[in-house]
Structures are given as structure tokens and as C-alpha cells.
Chain A
Amino acid sequence: MKHGRDLDVHLPPAVLRIAVADLRRYVLNPRLSWDVQRRRLEKSMRFGPSPRGTKITERDLNGVTAEIVTAGRARADVTIVHFHGGGYCIGSASMARSWAATLAAKADGQVILPGYRLAPEHPFPAALDDARQVMKAVSGETSPASIVLSGDSAGAGLALALLLALRDEGQELPAGCVLLSPWLDLSASRRANTALVRKDRLLSPAWLEACAAAYAGESDPSDPAMSPLHASHQGLPPLLIQCGSDEILAPDSELLAASASAEGTDVTYTKWPRMWHDFALQPGVLAAADSALAQTAWFLAKVTKT
């Protein structure tokens, strides 16, 4: 499938903030059924600019369907495996297409967007199992030294959980891990931090609680395989953590940066003032997202030495 149009008109954050608030009301609303949320999210994420020449193909990776996003020029020095967000319950590869396509063009890489199984139909550890299958397939084809794990929101939690699992099994680790607005602790209540709850235009504690309950199923949501903030972060490859200041998940980013660095992991952490959850997924329309993407490209070059 050929894809893409050039658009590089930055919109004022205030305009996008209105769209974000709509998303919270009509999509990420715990009163709506998962099916309605999924349908509406799919529709609303269809647009979003991609560079001209972007190519998207579908592949089966050990039983998991994934979208492979490449820039027109076929060089793919780096393979980024990116897990989409959506609270483990909604969302799909298409959510991160715009980000993936822009990054593929900028970093001379291919981005793999796995469509892992979602809760509540497939609770923990289904998503993590799928992630491991994808990783197994990808590392069979390319050296882990040219693979970078990545994820946004719940997908970032999944990416980090996968990384910890690989480390615990003593496998060769990918070159680095990119975490965009990561959700790393499913057991934490977010209600007490009223200042952040008020500022966050997209996520509500109620929706996160519903997602956590659906994903955890019978398991304990504080299990480090679900809430990787609770694990030790020793012996990890370099991490890039990006978040907005106006999201209730911001403390997860900061806590991970603080603990991973304390344990000797190379951490690059940047926080964008007045930005919302997953703002980085809107390159081409949001200046801050372009700035975040430039940092991601820098990080990829640094960890894979291209």
C-alpha cells in the first residue's frame, strides 16, 4: 500500500488541545463499550500526515499481524519495533502510522507496528506473549544491535516489560528503547494528584482504572511484567523517555528516569511543557512533536551507531 502526503503546517497547540479534549469525551470514556471506543479511535486516527513515498505493508510475525512502515528509499539500517498505545484495550497500528512514517524517513529505518491482542478479550499476559513472538521473529532476521524497541502509552509499558523479560532470560538485548508518554504502573491510583488530573485533557483516572482492570484480569496489576516501574532497571540498554508535562502519567516517566539512572542505565529524559499525553505521535502538525521526533532520530543514530 502506497501512502502519504506532505503536510508541514504546524497548528497552534491550543487548536489541537480542543481535538484532544474531544477524544477524551467521545473515545477514551469508560462509560462507552470497548467496541465503540475502538471504532471511534480507529476513525479519528486515520488522518495524520506521512512523508511522500511512505510504504506500508502487512506481515505475519510468528502469528502476530504487523504493519511494516518504510520510507520510499528502501534503506532500513535500523528496525524499530513500536507498540501502540490504547490502555491494552483499544487502539491499533494505524495510531502510530504518522509517527512511524516520519521517523522511518528521518532515521533511514523500518518501523514495525505489531497488532498485539487486546484486553478484555485477551488479558495479561496475551499482549506480552505477542510482543515476545514479534521480537523472536524480528531478531531472527536482524541483529539485535540494529533493533530498537519502542512504544507509546500502554505500548511503552509493554515495550519495557518485554525488555525486562529479555534481560531476565539472558537474551541479547536490543540497542535501545524509546518510551513515549509511558504507562508503567497499572496499580497506582492517579486520583490523588489533582493538579495533574485537572491539567490532563486526554486521560482520566477512571479510564485508566478500567483499562488496568481489564488487562490485569485475574492477575495482580502491580506485577512488574505489567507494571515495569516496579522492576529493577539494571543492565538495560540506553533508554529514551519523552513525555508531556500535562499528563497524569508524567510521574511514570520521571520515576523511571530516576531509578534506571540510579541503577546505571543510560537515560535520556525530556519533558515538554504544556504538552499532553502522546503528543509525540503528531509530527507534521505539532512543532513539539517534530522536536520530539528529532530527538528520537538522534537517539536511534546514537544507539545503533549509524
Chain B
Amino acid sequence: MYEKRSYRVVIVGAGFGGIGMALALKRAGIEDFVVVDAASDLGGTWRDNTYPGAACDVPANLYSYSFRPQRWSRRYPSQQETLAYLRTVAEEGGVGPHLRFGARVISAEFDETPGDWNVTLEGGDTLIAKVVVSAVGQLNRPALPDITGRDDFARPSWHSARWNHDVDLAGKTVAVIGTGASAIQFVPEVAKIAAHVDVYQRTPPYVLPKPDYPYPVRLQNTFDRLPVARKADRLRTFLYGELLTSGFVLSPKLLAGPMRMWRRQLDAAITDQALRAKCVPDYVMGCKRVLFSGDWYPTLALPDVALVTDPIERIVADGVVTADGQRRPADIIIYGTGFKTLDFLAPMSVTGRGGVELEDSWRNGAQAYLGISVAGFPNFFVIYGPNTNLGGNSIIYMLEGQVNYALAAIRALHSENADWIDVRPEVQEEFNRWVKAASSTSVWESGCSSWYTTASGRNTNNWPDHTFLYRYRIRNFDLSKYQVMPKRRVPVSAA
């Protein structure tokens, strides 16, 4: 017998977005909700990514909830410390009893007549919800490259977000495919243990310095005693992020400073001209994700690390063959190849009004009003939805704004005594015309291939403007942008 339970709000995903939403509901006095997550613990991306060297690349004073400052041990704390922080905040907020783990959402279907969502879990249980908040993130489903013979490799291999901690890397020859945000963090760690590392690179990233250091106890004390000092540090980081964003959305000319920093870092670490040339991107800074690390270039310069830029032709049982015919043996392959970022809520199947599938209405690229509401999908709010990723600032700042917006919408639904609210299609269209126009002049559409854009080069992932302007836009929930379905009843006297 399958279980059937109804809630006012079902939150899908227990990462920073979902936990943030849960905390907001608790604060608003709404207790009738559940947070479901397929995994066995909270944390989202901070639970999944346990590779050596995993850390945030935004200083933690900014990469944390504004309402819950933390005594961080260092400027860029490790994955464990960030995860522990989220766990503590969830515990303090009393979210625990609302969490349901091992609950993978298979489908969410909107039933128009009562105006309810039927959320089906793997195993058959159904949750009935007035409102669904999807907080599944953009970077949670590992993407493996389409390389011939990938399955022929007879030795251990894994994706960086599914790290195999049982395999000892000491003395091994490791092939790392990919040079994205994960790879630049774990390759320096792997290189310390392994005998040899081959790093297969398709496109070089821009790697900016990461001024990471442990906070001395005295500084930690100062932050605690003088909260304004921590706020000031937070603001400083935020403004630096906005400066980067200016370069991304206004003109790459504004990136002259970061370009100099990148060049200095590269030149200082790598003296070999050939290797240095391989590390120089041929695209505008920001078009692909800008990375932050102090040990990436020094690692590449190590004698037991090789940067391979010849395209991979195929993978064989014991190694990798590149297009030039060279065969490089490997004991282990680690894929640092990122995530499937373009189909957002997949593989969850979402069906809205009139039986329309979200997947179909997003066929030409995902879009939503303010990245949160999708026309035809009433009482459904997306946290970290289309066009709300950032290239230069803290995503927590975006999530907090979205959580507040969704909460205001949930309250409006109640105060209007409505069955459902659904964003007006022409409002969503107009918003996305603006997104398109703004994106067309941004670095993300300057002609590189990245996880921010669709195959046709359309930016579906990044917010194409300054970060504070997003928060300004979503500061109020405007009911007039939605159509409302009042609680249905037959007419007064015709009944």
C-alpha cells in the first residue's frame, strides 16, 4: 500500500536553496511542509562533492546566509566546513523533522480542479501539495563526456562529484579529463599523492588568484565581537564580485584589472613557454566560468604532471589515446567534466496545466519569469532556476532573494484565498525578451562553448545583469504579474 500525504508546501532538494526555503517557512510560522531529497543527507552540492581539495571559491563570509553569520576557520573554508555550517543552521532552525531523505521525486503533476500538485516519489508514495518549490540546483547531475571506448576502461574511474574514496592514489598514474572548477581544485591534491598525472584539457580556463588563508583566532574574535566588521568584509567581497560582473555584462574592457592579475599569476608560476601557451585561453574572460586558485598553475609546472591538449580520440582498457596517436597509460581516470546544466529540473517530470510537460515548454531553452515562475505551471516556484546563476558573485545572495519571493507568493495565495496563481505568459515572454537582449551583449554570448549556453549559443543559465539588480527586481512579489484562480464555486443563484 502506497502512502499518500498532503502538505501545504513540498520542497524538492535539501541544499542551500531548499534549506533556505524551509527556514523561511519556519520563520513565517508555516509548519505544514516537507523537504524531500533523493540522498540520505542534506547539503546538496556540498554533500555530493567530497573530492580532495573541495572548497568554495567565494569567500565564506559572503557565501553564507545573511541572517546567520559564522565563525569561519579560513577565508575559503573546505567542503566539510561549509556542509557542517548548513547542517548547523538547519538544526538551529528546527528543519530536521521536516526532512525526508531517500525520497527521489519521479514526477510532479498539477491537478487543475482542486489546484493541487501530485508529487510521486520513487517507490510509489504520493505527496499532495498546494505549492511545490523546486530547489534541485543547476550543478547536481554529473556529465560524462561522449568519448569512444569510455566503458572499455578496465580500471577504476569516477566523476569528481562521485569520488571513490576507497581507491588509494599513491604511486598511481592518474588521467584527469577536464579542467573546470572541480578539476582545478582536486588536481593539485591528486598530484601530491599520485606518481604521475595527465591532465587532458580541451579549453584552458582563466584562473585568478585565490587569496586563501586561515583566519587567525584574533581575527575570528574580532568578527564575532564586531559583527559590522564581518559585514564589511562581506560587502567588500560582494562589491569585488559586482566589479567582475560589470566586466561580464557591460564591457570586457572593465576586466583589464583581473586580466593583469591572471597574467601575472600565470607568468610567475610557469616559465616553460610551450606550457604557458597551452594555458592561454582564446576567448574573452568570463565567457566560460572564471576560476579561482593559487596552486593550479604551479601544479601544472610540476615534473610529474603533464598537460595534454591533443584531443582524446578514444579510451582503451588501460589508458587514453589522443588524436596524435599517442597512447598514455592510466591506472585511474577521473572525470572533472562538470554537470548537465541545461535541463534544469530533469529527470523529474513536471506536468502543468492542460497536461503540458515542462520539458516540452523548455524545448528551445529553459526560461522562467525572474527565473522563478513558469507560465502554465501554477503554484510552482523554482529556486536557482533559469538565468539566475552567477559568474562573479555568491549564489546564496540570489537564493535568499528567491526564497523571500516564493514565500511572499505562498502568502498571497493564502490571502487571496486562491486555488492557484500562474504567471502571465506574456509577462514571462517580455521578461525573457529582456534577458535575451541583455545576454546578447554579455561575455557569455561572445562565442565560446560553455555550460551557460544552449547548443545554439543562447544563455539560459546566467543572470545577465548586476547581481544587486536581480534582488531589486524580485524585492516585491507583484500579484498583478500572475493570473489568479479563486476557489471555484458555482454561482450564487444559478446553482
Q: State whether A262 and B490 are in contact (beta carbons under 8 Å apart), knowing that A295-B426, A298-B424 are contacts in the complex.
A: yes
A270–B494 touching, CB < 8 Å: no
**How distant is the Cα of A271 from the Cα of B417 in the complex, in angstroms?**
13
B494–A271 touching, CB < 8 Å: no
Closest residue of chain A to B426 (Cβ to Cβ) is: A298
B456 within 8 Å of A (CB atoms): no
From the candidates B427, B480, B483, B493, name the one contacting A268 in the complex (CB within 8 A). Answer: B483
B225 within 8 Å of A (CB atoms): no
A232–B479 touching, CB < 8 Å: no
Interface centre among A232, A261, A272, A297 (most CB of B within 10 A): A261
A226 within 8 Å of B (CB atoms): no
A269–B479 touching, CB < 8 Å: no
**How distant is the Cα of A257 from the Cα of B478 in the complex, in angstroms?**
20
Could you tell me which residues of chain B, from 453 to 495, have a CB within 8 Å of some CB in chain A?
478-494
Residue numbers in B under 8 Å from A224 (CB-CB): 494
B31 within 8 Å of A (CB atoms): no
From the candidates A263, A267, A270, name the one contacting B490 in the complex (CB within 8 A). Answer: A263
B485–A261 touching, CB < 8 Å: yes
B491–A270 touching, CB < 8 Å: no
The smallest beta-carbon distance between A181 and chain B, in angstroms, is 14
Closest residue of chain A to B421 (Cβ to Cβ) is: A270
Could you tell me which residues of chain A, from 247 to 272, have a CB within 8 Å of some CB in chain B?
254-255, 257-259, 261-263, 267-272
Residue numbers in A under 8 Å from B481 (CB-CB): 291
The smallest beta-carbon distance between B385 and chain A, in angstroms, is 22
B96 within 8 Å of A (CB atoms): no
Could you tell me which residues of chain B, from 435 to 449, have a CB within 8 Å of some CB in chain A?
none
**How distant is the Cα of A6 from the Cα of B31 in the complex, in angstroms?**
52
A273 within 8 Å of B (CB atoms): yes
Residue numbers in B under 8 Å from A23 (CB-CB): none
A208 within 8 Å of B (CB atoms): no
**How distant is the Cα of A230 from the Cα of B482 in the complex, in angstroms?**
27
**How distant is the Cα of A216 from the Cα of B485 in the complex, in angstroms?**
31
Closest residue of chain B to A231 (Cβ to Cβ) is: B494
Residue numbers in B under 8 Å from A232 (CB-CB): 491, 494
Residue numbers in B under 8 Å from A262 (CB-CB): 488-490
Q: State whether A233 and B491 are in contact (beta carbons under 8 Å apart), knowing that A267-B485, A269-B486, A294-B426 are contacts in the complex.
A: yes
A257–B424 touching, CB < 8 Å: no
A271–B484 touching, CB < 8 Å: yes
Give the size range of A's interface with the partner.
20 to 34
A186 within 8 Å of B (CB atoms): no
Closest residue of chain A to B416 (Cβ to Cβ) is: A271
**How distant is the Cα of A288 from the Cα of B430 in the complex, in angstroms?**
15
The smallest beta-carbon distance between B273 and chain A, in angstroms, is 59
B93 within 8 Å of A (CB atoms): no
B491–A288 touching, CB < 8 Å: no
A135 within 8 Å of B (CB atoms): no
Closest residue of chain B to A267 (Cβ to Cβ) is: B485
B258 within 8 Å of A (CB atoms): no
Residue numbers in B under 8 Å from A268 (CB-CB): 483
Q: State whether A270 and B492 are in contact (beta carbons under 8 Å apart), knowing that A295-B426, A298-B425 are contacts in the complex.
A: no
B480–A270 touching, CB < 8 Å: yes
B491–A271 touching, CB < 8 Å: no
The smallest beta-carbon distance between A29 and chain B, in angstroms, is 29
A273–B480 touching, CB < 8 Å: yes
A269–B484 touching, CB < 8 Å: yes
Residue numbers in B under 8 Å from A261 (CB-CB): 485-486, 488
Residue numbers in A under 8 Å from B484 (CB-CB): 257, 269-271
Closest residue of chain B to A299 (Cβ to Cβ) is: B426
**How distant is the Cα of A269 from the Cα of B416 in the complex, in angstroms?**
12
**How distant is the Cα of A124 from the Cα of B483 in the complex, in angstroms?**
33
Contact with A along B77-118 (1 / 0, CB 8 A): 000000000000000000000000000000000000000000
Can you list the 9 inter-chain pairs with the closest CB atoms, starting with the nearest? A262-B488, A298-B426, A259-B491, A232-B494, A272-B480, A258-B486, A230-B493, A254-B486, A270-B483
Interface residues of chain A, those whose CB is within 8 Å of chain B, are 222, 224, 229-233, 254-255, 257-259, 261-263, 267-273, 275, 288, 291, 294-295, 297-298
Given contacts A269-B484, A272-B479, 10 further A-B contacts (CB under 8 A): A222-B493, A232-B491, A258-B489, A261-B485, A263-B491, A269-B483, A271-B416, A288-B480, A295-B424, A295-B426
> What are 18 A-B interface contacts by the 8 Å CB criterion?
A222-B493, A230-B494, A231-B491, A233-B491, A255-B486, A255-B492, A257-B484, A258-B488, A259-B489, A261-B486, A261-B488, A262-B488, A263-B491, A270-B483, A272-B480, A291-B481, A294-B426, A294-B430
